[in-house]
Amino acid sequence: MLKNRLSVIEYINKVLQSDLFNKSIPDNFLSEINNKKIKINLKDIDYSTILHISENTITILEDSGDFDVELITTPATLVLFILSKGSDKFSSKIIINGDIDTANKFNKFMGSSENIKEILTHLLGKDKTKNIESGIMSIASFVNDIVSSSTSDLVDFLTDDLTVLPSKSDVNQFLDDVDTLKSRTDKLYQKYKDVK
C-alpha cells in the first residue's frame, strides 16, 4: 500500500513539474507563496500532505514535520471552500496552525476561481475549461442554495420554533407531574388489586 501511495505522489509530481503544466502557470503566478511549505491535513480520511511552492512550481512532499503553515479540514469543506470562491462559511471551518500570512495568501489563491480557471485553460484548452466551469458553477449554485436555505431554516427555527420547546422549569414540572401520577396510580392499584 505504501509503495502505491509513493508512486501516486511521484506520478502527480511528474505532472506538476512537466513542461506542459509549467507553461500553463503564468510567470510569478505563485510568487506570493513562493518558497513555502503548506501542509494540508484532511482529518476525516486521516491523510495529510505538504505542498511545496518554489520558483512558480508545486511539488507534493511526503508528510514531514517541516512546514510553514498547516490547514486542518475535511475534504468536503476544502472542496466547498474552493467551489464557493472562498466563502467565509467554509473558511471558518478550516483550522490554521503556523504562519497566518501564508495561510491567508494560500486561501486567497485557492478561493480565486480565476487562478484555477487560468491554469485549466492553459492545460485543457478553452472549450474543455468552459465545460468544467459550467459544471462547477451549477454545483456551486446548488451548494449555495443548500447553504442559504439551511441558513434561513435555522433562522426560522431559532425565531419561531424555539418558543415551542419547553423550558427547564416546564420539563421539571412535567417530571413532577409524572411522579405524582405514578404515585397515585400505585396507590389505586394497591387499593383495588384484591377487588374482583
Q: What pLDDT digit, counting tens, does each position of 25-60 carry?
A: 767 777 777 777 888 888 877 777 787 878 777 777
Verify that 96 and 17 share a domain, yes or no. Answer: yes
- Per-residue pLDDT at 86 exceeds 70: no
User: What's residue 111's pLDDT?
Assistant: 62
Classify residue 19: in a domain, yes or no.
yes
Classify residue 22: in a domain, yes or no.
yes
Verify that 99 and 7 share a domain, yes or no. Answer: yes
Verify that 112 and 177 share a domain, yes or no. Answer: no
User: What's residue 177's pLDDT?
Assistant: 94
Single out the residue of 58, 68, 69 nearest to residue 13, CA to CA: 58
Verify that 44 and 109 share a domain, yes or no. Answer: yes
Q: Helix, strand, coil % (nearest 5) of the chain? A: 65, 15, 20
Verify that 181 and 106 share a domain, yes or no. Answer: no
User: What's residue 120's pLDDT?
Assistant: 66
The residues near 87 (Cβ < 8 Å, ≥ 6 apart) are 80, 81, 111, 147
The residues near 85 (Cβ < 8 Å, ≥ 6 apart) are 111, 112, 113, 140
Q: What pLDDT digit, counting tens, does each position of 112-167 carry?
A: 656 666 666 666 677 877 777 777 777 767 777 776 677 667 666 666 666 677 88
Verify that 16 and 113 share a domain, yes or no. Answer: yes
Contact in structure between 38 and 78 (CB atoms under 8 Å): no
DSSP-derived secondary structure letter, 30: T
**Residue of 1 and 7 predicted with greater confidence:** 7
Verify that 101 and 27 share a domain, yes or no. Answer: yes
- Taking residue 8's Cβ as centre, other Cβ atoms within 10 Å add up to 11
What are residue 1's DSSP bridge partners? none
Classify residue 189: in a domain, yes or no.
yes
User: What's residue 1's pLDDT?
Assistant: 45
Quote the number of domains for the chain: 2
Residue 42: CATH number of its domain: 3.30.1050
Verify that 106 and 171 share a domain, yes or no. Answer: no
Verify that 97 and 22 share a domain, yes or no. Answer: yes
pTM of the model: 0.52
What range defines the domain where residue 177 resides?
Answer: 166-196
Classify residue 98: in a domain, yes or no.
yes
Verify that 85 and 171 share a domain, yes or no. Answer: no
Classify residue 146: in a domain, yes or no.
no
Verify that 9 and 96 share a domain, yes or no. Answer: yes
Verify that 10 and 84 share a domain, yes or no. Answer: yes
